[in-house]
Structure formats: C-alpha cells, structure tokens
Amino acid sequence: MDPIKWAKLVKKAIDGESIACPKCGGNVKADFYARIIDGEKRGFIILECEKCNERIHFSRIKFPDNLETKDF
C-alpha cells in the first residue's frame, strides 16, 4: 500500500468525484465521519476499494459544512 497515492484521493472523495483504487483500479467507496469541534466540521475518512478490499483511513480531516457525514 502506498499511503501517498491514497492521500491524493481524499480531496477527490470529498468533492464527490468517482475515484479508482491506486492498487487495482477498482471503484473506491468513501465513508465520512465527523462532528462539530470548535465550530468546524472535523473527523475522519475511510477509503475502501470494492474490488481488492484495500482500505485506509485518514484522521483530522476538516470537511465542508455541506458534506453529508456520519456521526461518531
């Protein structure tokens, strides 16, 4: 796994773009988890390939207020 290649996909996922797995080219599913902290929507994102099941998470993400997220 190359975390740098996955990290480059975070903004695309937040922007709602379709993203391909850097390992196998399969479709990547993104799950967003956030809560309001000090007036900002912050949390983490889980990216998972639906083909090869490669999975990674990134924390301390600041999300746009209009992005639909799950509470944690």
Paired tokens of 14: 């937040």
Q: Is the pLDDT of residue 65 over 90?
A: yes
Decide if 47 contacts 30 (C-beta within 8 A).
yes
CA-to-CA dists, residue 39 to 4, 13, 42, 61, 71, angstroms: 29, 23, 9, 14, 15
pTM greater than 0.85: yes
pLDDT-derived band at 13, boundaries 50, 70, 90: very high
Q: What is the pLDDT of residues 15-31, one digit of tens each?
A: 999 999 999 999 999 99
Distance from C-alpha of 49 to C-alpha of 56, rounded to nearest angstrom: 9
Distance from C-alpha of 49 to C-alpha of 30, rounded to nearest angstrom: 9
For the chain, give every domain's residue range. 3-62
